[in-house]
Amino acid sequence: GAGVSQTPSNKVTEKGKYVELRCDPISGHTALYWYRQSLGQGPEFLIYFQGTGAADDSGLPNDRFFAVRPEGSVSTLKIQRTERGDSAVYLCASSSNSFTEQYFGPGTRLTVT
């Protein structure tokens, strides 16, 4: 079946603007994860959903970052008042259940100018 998809693939925004990044997980996967990857680094955990609820949001860097998954499928990562330091590739992954094998999407490259 289809893999994890993310939109947009690239997003350029000005400092201070609001952005939304979307993730469509593999159909039937109950767990969904958001990571952020800066150049030359490994992915860094942001938040994990089991179903509709955020089971662990300890990786969100501050209250400008928020994510939702209202129907237990598609998730949106929302960033308010973007800063240049938010520039990174935002990766989404899903798994059939919590803590089982994760499958990653292609990522959204966010550039804040």
Partner 1 sequence: GIQVEQSPPDLILQEGANSTLRCNFSDSVNNLQWFHQNPWGQLINLFYIPSGTKQNGRLSATTVATERYSLLYISSSQTTDSGVYFCAVADQFYFGTGTSLTVIP
Query: Would you tell me which residues interact with partner 1 (CB under 8 A)?
Result: 33, 35, 42-45, 48, 56, 59, 89, 91, 93, 95, 99-104, 106-107
CA 91 to chain centre: 5
Nearest distance in Å: CB 15, partner 1: 24
Residue (79 or 89) nearer to partner 1, CB: 89
Residue 57 in contact with residue 70, Cβ under 8 Å?
no
Residue (14 or 28) nearer to partner 1, CB: 28
Nearest distance in Å: CB 9, partner 1: 10
CA 11 to chain centre: 13
The CA distance from 13 to 60, in Å, is 20
